[in-house]
Structure 1
Amino acid sequence: MNIDRRVRAKEFMALLSMKKDALYDWVNSGEIPQPTRINKKDVFWYESIVKKRS
């Protein structure tokens, strides 16, 4: 069984070697999907999404 783990913004940026502004520019342009939101400040993407971008 393969579990799709959660990747927080900080880890996402590190894996793709990008800064916060660039990450959210991609989100706003639709290049990557909106993150899943747990609450107002806590967001994540699933690892499968990150792997598609790297």
Structure 2
Amino acid sequence: MDRVIRRKELLSIIGISRSTLYDWMASGTFPRPIRLGRRAVGWRSKDISDWLEKLPSRLSGLRQPLTRKENKHAYHGRPN
């Protein structure tokens, strides 16, 4: 049986924000979750491991989270 990964664990594994996760799902570049209950979803570990294996080829076109330094400069309007 395939293990189910909940959102909090998924975000820590991948290292992205919740909004980036939902942006990627909306654009079709990230696996959709499965419904576990009325208010609960999760992702099959197999779907996530398959996605991670193909990650280098998927990086083009994905919105990558800013590093702390890039975010600071973007906020203050200074160049990197």
User: Which whole-Å CA distance do the structure 2 matches of 1:4 and 1:37 have between them?
Assistant: 14
Query: 1:2-41 maps to which residues of 2 (within 5 A)?
Result: 3-41=1-39
Q: What is the deviation of 1:13?
A: 0.7
Q: After superposition, what is the alpha-carbon deviation per residue over 1:17-47, rounded to whole angstroms, capped at 9, x for unaligned?
A: 0110001111111111221012232000100
Tell me the equivalent position of 2:51: 53
Q: TM-score, normalised by structure 1?
A: 0.81
- 1:25 is paired with a residue whose SS is helix
Q: Which has the larger radius of gyration?
A: 2
Identity of aligned residues (%): 31
Over 3 Å off, 4+ runs: none
Unpaired runs of at least 5, structure 2: 53-80
**2:31–2:48 contact (8 Å) kept in structure 1:** no
Q: TM-score, normalised by structure 2?
A: 0.58
Give the number of aligned pairs: 52
Unpaired runs of at least 5, structure 1: none
